[in-house]
Amino acid sequence: MKTSTRLGLLGLALGAALAAPQIQAQPEHAGNPSSFGYDLPAAGILLEGIGYDKQRETFYVSGVNDGGRIYRGRINEEALEVWLPGGVDGRTTARGIDVDDMGRVYIAGGPSGRLWVISPGGATLASLSTPAGSFLNDVWVAPDGAAYFTDSNQPRIWRVAQGTGGVWQASLWLDAAATIPVVLPGFNLGGIVATPNGRFLLVAQGTTGRLWRIDLATKEVIEVDLGSTSLVNADGIVLRGHTLWVVQNFTRQISELRLDGDWASGKLVSVTATPANRTFTTGKIAKGRLLMVDSQFGFAPPFAAQDRVVVTKLP
């Protein structure tokens, strides 16, 4: 394992942001490639989650501290715009986001225990609640068409799909407390992705630094064997094939791992430090690029600069 990067990943237009001399920005921007990304219109707003609509080449980013406002950007357009206002439909904060093949946007409501399904045109299709005490952190739309939301207060996963008559329903799909140790206080389940074959979910547990594999058909839960590697403060996770990138927010690093053929074990490939005055939270792959949320989450105001989405071209 080597520190800094082989990350094709963090050839990131992080260049300046990551302050690592080995990291070379990709020259895909007419201006300064080292600062290529999408800035918020103003400072003081904390970003956290990101989802990508591959059909429309559009991405969505969530605001934590502005009533759950949702911002929208488009690939190759250098701006973020307000897409959904905050403080509506019971949304006071927003965390993880994902988008299905129909362009519907799924939003996790963090400590509110609420979630939303929004049409590509911005109409609310569903505004649902889970029981008090839930913390809906991240979401992934699996190949079965359902959206799976992680709960950070307990090792639980909520499933959201349309039921009879097209009515949207949220149900407790898995309570893994018998297998996954419950840490209170702490963040239990966080970042989530599905494997390319559609068989498994991979879920990170930030407080313990462990990674879990869940069988979508049987709900069997196993710990992914990472040897001595710890993923403490794992937030968002990004999977391409058998390469997994783990964004470790307050540890301020991004770990790249190579997972085996059935995603049951993995080895650490590299670790890249992120800036001490920023908090990277998550990412999504879009058209051969990695879009990563570069936030000031966890810092006290006043904030020196806008939060942004930074971009790198993947090999």
Q: Which domains does the chain have, with CATH numbers?
A: 2-299 (2.120.10.30)
Q: Tell which wins on pLDDT, 32 or 294.
A: 294
Does the pLDDT value for residue 32 go beyond 50? no
The yes-or-no verdict on residue 291 having pLDDT over 80 is yes
Q: Which H or E element spans position 243?
A: strand 243-248
Q: Which of 8-17, 70-79, 109-118, 186-195 has the lowest mean pLDDT?
A: 8-17
- Average pLDDT, stretch 231-249? 98
Q: Which helix (H) or strand (E) holds 53?
A: strand 47-53
Q: Which strand ranges, in their side-by-side order, compose the sheet holding 308-313?
A: 37-39, 308-313, 289-295, 279-286
Whole-angstrom Cα Rg for the chain: 18
The tens digit of pLDDT for each residue in 128-153 reads 999 999 999 999 999 999 999 999 99
Query: In the sheet that 168-175 helps form, which strands lie side by side, from edge to edge?
Result: 136-141, 147-151, 156-162, 168-175
Residue of 41, 78, 49, 223 whose CA lies nearest to 138:
49
- Reduced to 3 states, what is the DSSP secondary structure of residue 218? coil
* CA 106 remoteness from chain centre: 12
C-alpha 190: how far from its chain's center?
9
Q: Is residue 1 very low, low, confident or very high in pLDDT (cuts 50, 70, 90)? A: low
